[in-house]
Amino acid sequence: MTFNPVRPFRSDPATDAVAIVASAETCVRVDAPSRLHLGFLDPNASLGRRFASLGLVIDAFATRLEIAAAPETRVWSDDPCQHDAVRRLARHLDTLQRETGLRQPLQVRLRSAPPAHSGFGSGTQLALALGRAFCALHGLELSTRRLAAMLGRGERSGVGIAGFDQGGLLLDGGPGPGGTPAPVLARLDFPAAWRVLLVLDERIDGLSGAAERAAMDQLAPFPRELAADLCHQVLLKVLPAVIEQRFEPFAEGVSRIQSQIGDYFAPAQGGSMYTSAAVAACMDWLRAQGPAGVGQSSWGPTGFAILPSAEVAQGLIARGRAQGAIDPALRLVVCGGDNRGARIGTVSAAQA
């Protein structure tokens, strides 16, 4: 199959992006990377602006889908277990057609998607991948931020939206007035040599939807002093360390952010900063082995350890397995950062 790439998508918040107009014989494909949510900075809006997030786009668990004109509308997945994702895509397609008035029958094929409710931002990537593909197919010039608002994404964190466009390590300023998507405050390339060890417990799901909102509403007020320390860690430790490619202060900063925000969210997670006890035990062991940026992405259950190299990551996996420190039921994946964001291109509809 021939894939014709059309540059990584870059959305300018001030102007809408140029769309790709696909012919009736063309299928538009979008590949959107996953993201890790590394922590909120101020869930209580001590300065009047709630949330703000630090996040990292990764080169694993991509969302890939294709869209093309068809005699009748059909949405399906290559993976028969992706029922929830297919339902979401069908709802988003209906919203896009209703909001734009473009009701041409379409086929949407989901090639791959991250595990849902696992901390990868799968809902946002599904919505934006479909929205971008829909716009490309119809020649619509809508920015990713506008698509996110249309499809109800970015209620709290903006790193999934910005990561779709740009990739990298991202800091956002929290949603704006009226719930507009969070502005990007900083975006940095993630060092090529650094690696992320993902620890997945596929037996359980993280909080989402109504349960997530209820958990957020029941949490105690977030101390202003803690928000100040988290901002201090990000601004004067994490971001400079990435620019200078100094791993140890980066790892220290991320681990401190995760520890403090994890303690705050612990009452909604059974008293722990981790949703999964097996992931918690693995992460505690990893942190004791040497410098690592350790924590849980969003509501989990996925844990992560950011490490200085692939060799260190593979060595830890081997040693952890040999020592029985890693539950055999856990799935471990080593990946890197993604500094490009979503890719969009075309394939022949007949081939697709």
Residue where the block lists tokens 């379409």 = 106
Query: Are residues 211 and 265 part of one domain?
Result: yes
Report d(CA 44, CA 156) in Å as an integer.
12
Q: Give pLDDT, residue 24.
A: 56
Q: Which residue has the higher pLDDT, 178 or 344?
A: 344
Taking residues 29-53, what's their average pLDDT? 92
Query: Are residues 66 and 136 part of one domain?
Result: yes
Q: What is the CATH number of the domain that holds 269?
A: 3.30.70.890
Q: What percent of the chain has pLDDT over 90?
A: 75
* Host domain of residue 330: 195-335
Evaluate the CA torsion angle 132, 133, 134, 138 in order and state its sign: positive
Domain count, the chain: 2
Question: CA separation (Å) from 117 to 206, 226, 261, 312?
Answer: 5, 27, 19, 28
pLDDT at 22 over 50: no
Query: Are residues 162 and 219 part of one domain?
Result: no
| Model confidence band, residue 25 (pLDDT cutoffs 50, 70, 90) | low
Query: Are residues 123 and 253 part of one domain?
Result: no
Which helix (DSSP H) or strand (DSSP E) does residue 341 occupy?
Answer: none
Q: Provide the token pair at 11.
A: 């959305």
Q: What is the pTM of this model?
A: 0.90
Taking residues 56-73, what's their average pLDDT? 96
Query: Are residues 166 and 268 part of one domain?
Result: no
Query: Are residues 173 and 27 part of one domain?
Result: yes
Query: Are residues 169 and 58 part of one domain?
Result: yes
Query: Are residues 248 and 120 part of one domain?
Result: no
The contacts found for 255-260 with CB under 8 angstroms, 24 or more apart, are 255/287, 255/292, 255/293, 255/294, 255/295, 257/38, 257/39, 257/54, 257/230, 257/233, 257/295, 258/38, 258/39, 258/293, 258/294, 258/295, 258/296, 259/295, 260/226, 260/229, 260/230
pLDDT at 12 over 60: no
